[in-house]
């Protein structure tokens, strides 16, 4: 499965034709290097001169880019790099000190050079990188497999218009998917191997090697504790004062450690929704790990409802939840598209009237017509005046996706 082309390959391909830098960002082990090699293979199959394609990984070595290019120019091509088109692939670029400035110089000096970078962090969030590379790059996010791609890779087929017939199979495969988190290498691992892989190859590597190298964090073990706490309480309300007391660091350090974990793509903050972004910034926030496999590996006792809430927050790139002073809540507010869409996740046998209160209140306050309730088994429509809540079980996966796209007026 590892060499198989993903949808992201076709998304990335057109960017090879542009002058701008292509920046592939995503977690470790998500397939960025594989994607780079596939893009190189594509160039060669199109007749590109192999001597004009350079690949270098900064993961193990820290050579300077200009020295590498001089070597290419003097020892291999024996002619000026300016003469013809050259493709340069730099893997794990965040490991290179002051990479933004060095890449900017290359980009500005060599108009015929196409630069493709990969980074295991949201490196465009780093101080100054957006400014220094403004207008010079396209950022393409490489994610773990989505559920659809997971099924494709496992060669499992369902008739997506007949979900009810396949309910038991969809439930089983969805549980497996949440456990492995869509990491291609881990698709066929058993529970023990999976936990070991996620902890050692991914989380510990990022926490104890990558982050200290990139951010100079002095107590990575505290970062790991924050992950463990987040795994045990997905969506925990971020109270820096209490957390810093529990972990023995001051509040400012605590806030900067959470920011490190966000930049390293291991977790994400959700903000309490307000039409005024400044107000959202000041209100209480919630913290989620960025992948359900992390939760399963660090808190094996995590139940389906917890994993499901985390899954939807990440799948829908959620940025907001909602909570009012009376503590009425909505798990997720989709704001990326034309219409705001509130989504509540309630994975339990019976849906009570109180489970609908937060959704109806939010819809009333912000004058919205529709909300979505993701359930275990309940399929129903709840109406109050003009307002409608559509309840669908999580295993009606494709119906849910269609409803969310339609109700939020997203372009699919």
If one counts every other C-beta atom within 10 angstroms of the C-beta of residue 78, the result is 9
Characterize the bridge pairing of strands 387-393 and 380-384. Answer: antiparallel
Beta partners for 115?
A: 88
The dihedrals phi and psi of 345, each to the nearest 5 degrees, come to -110, 115
**What is the pLDDT, as a whole number, of residue 1?**
46
pLDDT tens string, the chain, 412 residues long: the values are: 447 899 999 999 999 999 999 999 999 999 999 999 999 999 999 999 898 898 988 877 767 776 777 766 656 665 666 667 889 999 988 888 788 888 888 888 888 889 999 988 776 555 455 556 767 889 899 999 999 999 999 999 988 889 999 999 999 999 999 999 999 999 999 999 999 999 999 999 999 998 888 788 889 999 999 999 999 999 999 988 889 888 999 999 999 999 999 999 999 999 999 887 777 677 889 999 999 999 999 999 999 999 999 999 999 998 999 999 999 999 999 987 777 999 999 999 999 999 999 999 999 999 999 999 999 999 999 999 999 999 999 999 999 999 999 888 765 4
Query: Are 265 and 290 spatial neighbours (Cβ–Cβ below 8 Å)?
Result: yes
What pLDDT score was predicted for residue 235? Answer: 94
Partner residues linked to 334 by β-bridges: 341
Cα separation, 319 vs 351, whole angstroms: 26
Domains of the chain: 7-143 (3.40.50.300), 320-407 (no CATH)
The pLDDT value given to residue 409: 74
Neighbours of 357 (CB within 10 A): 15
Return the structure tokens found at 245: 């007391």
Query: 3-state SS string over the chain?
Result: CCCCCCHHHHHHHHHHHCCCEEEEECCCCCCHHHHHHHHHHHHHHCCCCHHHEEEEECCCCCCCHHHHHHHHHHHHHCCCCCCCCEEEEEECHHHCCCHHHHHHHHHHHCCCEEEEEEECCCHHHCCCHHHHCCCCEEEEECCCCCHHHHHHHCCCCCCCCCCCCCHHHHHHHHHHHHHHCCCHHHCCCCHHHHHHHHHHHHHHHHHHHHHHHHHCCCCHHHHHHHHHHHHHCCCEECCHHHHHHHHCCCHHHHHHHHHHHHHCCCEEEEEECCCCHHHHHHCCEEEEECCHHHHHHHCCCCCHHHHHHHHHHHHCCCCEEEECCCCCEEEEEECCCCCCEEEEEECCCCCCHHHHHHHHHHHHHCCCCEEEEEECCCCEEEEECCEEEEEEECCCHHHHHHHHHHHCCCCC
Task: Tokens for 394, please give them.
Answer: 């999580």
What does the DSSP assignment read for 152-203?
HHTT----TT-TTTTHHHHHHHHHHHHHHTT-GGGTT--HHHHHHIIIIIII
Tell me if 285 sits within 8 A of 272, measured CB to CB. Answer: yes
Using only C-alpha atoms, the chain has a radius of gyration, in whole angstroms, of 23
């Amino acid at each position: 499965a590892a060499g198989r082309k993903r949808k992201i390959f076709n998304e990335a391909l057109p960017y090879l034709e542009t002058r701008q830098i292509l920046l592939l960002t995503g977690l470790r082990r998500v397939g960025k290097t594989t994607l780079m090699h596939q893009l190189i293979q594509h160039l060669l199959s199109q007749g590109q001169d192999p001597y004009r394609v350079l690949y270098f990984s900064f993961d193990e070595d820290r050579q300077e880019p200009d020295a590498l290019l001089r070597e290419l120019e003097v020892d291999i091509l024996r002619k000026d790099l300016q003469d013809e088109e050259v493709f340069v692939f730099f893997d794990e670029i965040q490991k290179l000190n002051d990479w933004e400035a060095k890449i900017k110089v290359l980009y500005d000096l060599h108009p015929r050079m196409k630069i493709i970078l990969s980074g295991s962090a949201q490196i465009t969030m780093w101080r100054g990188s957006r400014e220094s590379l403004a207008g010079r790059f396209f950022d393409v996010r490489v994610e773990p497999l989505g559920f659809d791609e997971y099924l494709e890779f496992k060669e499992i087929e369902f008739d997506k218009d007949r979900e009810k017939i396949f309910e038991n199979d969809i439930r089983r495969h969805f549980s497996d998917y949440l456990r492995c988190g869509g990491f291609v290498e881990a698709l066929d691992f058993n529970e023990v191997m999976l936990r070991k892989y996620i902890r050692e190859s991914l989380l510990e590597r990022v926490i104890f090697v990558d982050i200290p190298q990139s951010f100079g964090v002095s107590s990575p073990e505290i970062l790991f504790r924050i992950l463990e706490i987040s795994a045990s309480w997905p969506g925990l309300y971020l109270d820096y004062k209490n957390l810093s007391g529990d972990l023995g660091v001051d509040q400012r350090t605590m806030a900067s450690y959470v920011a490190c974990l966000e930049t390293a793509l291991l977790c994400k903050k959700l903000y309490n929704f307000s039409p005024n972004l400044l107000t959202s910034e000041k209100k209480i926030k919630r913290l989620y790990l960025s992948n359900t496999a992390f939760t399963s590996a660090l808190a094996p006792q995590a139940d389906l409802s917890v994993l499901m809430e985390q899954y939807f927050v990440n799948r829908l790139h959620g940025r907001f939840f909602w909570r009012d002073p009376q503590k009425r809540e909505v798990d997720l507010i989709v704001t990326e598209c034309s219409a705001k869409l509130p989504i509540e996740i309630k994975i339990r046998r019976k849906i009570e009237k109180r489970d609908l209160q937060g959704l109806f209140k939010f819809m009333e306050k912000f004058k919205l017509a529709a909300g979505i309730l993701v359930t275990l088994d309940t399929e129903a429509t709840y109406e109050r005046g003009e307002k409608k809540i559509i309840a669908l079980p999580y295993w009606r996966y494709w119906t849910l996706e269609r409803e969310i796209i339609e109700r939020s007026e997203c372009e699919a």
